[in-house]
């Protein structure tokens, strides 16, 4: 799951990540939403990792305490460039490290 203030800017990045995952043949579902939707999305979709847009980085420490999955801020450069491949690699590493 990707999250930002309203889920708008992360939606494009999620699409690019999904395209990269599909290209790699990964069984992955990448989706975006607003930070305020994270609790309900955790209940509904059970994401393996939550990546937060740089503009709302202040929520990362609180989410790390509350959630039982890895939570990190998306690299600012990758976010600005909408580099779905790099952000997907970050997500894969976080999931692998949590197992």
Structural domain spans, the chain: 2-98
In the chain, pLDDT over 70 holds for what percent of residues? Answer: 100
> Would you state the structure tokens that stand for residue 35, as one six-digit string?
């930070």
Catalytic residue status for 50: no
pLDDT reported for residue 62: 96
CATH of domain 2-98: 3.40.50.2300
CB neighbours of 46 closer than 8 A, spacing ≥ 6? none
pLDDT at 99: 82
Q: Are 56 and 2 in contact (CB under 8 A)?
A: no
Query: What pLDDT digit, counting tens, does each position of 20-47 carry?
Result: 999 999 999 999 999 999 999 999 999 9
4, 52, 59, 63: the catalytic one is 4
How confident is the model at residue 8, as a pLDDT? Answer: 85
Kindly state the average pLDDT of the residues 87-95. 97
d(CA 76, CA 41): 24
How far lies 95's CA from each of 7, 37, 64, 89, in Å? 22, 21, 14, 10
Following CA atoms 41, 39, 35, 11 in sequence, which dihedral angle do they give, to the nearest 10 degrees?
0
């Amino acid at each position: 799951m990707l999250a930002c203030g309203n889920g708008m800017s992360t939606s494009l990045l999620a699409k690019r990540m999904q395209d990269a995952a599909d290209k790699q043949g990964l069984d992955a579902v990448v989706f975006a939403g607003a930070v305020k939707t994270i609790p309900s999305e955790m209940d509904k979709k059970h994401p393996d990792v939550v990546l937060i847009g740089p503009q709302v980085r202040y929520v990362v420490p609180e989410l790390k305490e509350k959630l039982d999955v890895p939570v990190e801020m998306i690299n600012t450069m990758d976010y600005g460039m909408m580099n779905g491949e790099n952000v997907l690699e970050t997500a894969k590493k976080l999931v692998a490290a949590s197992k």
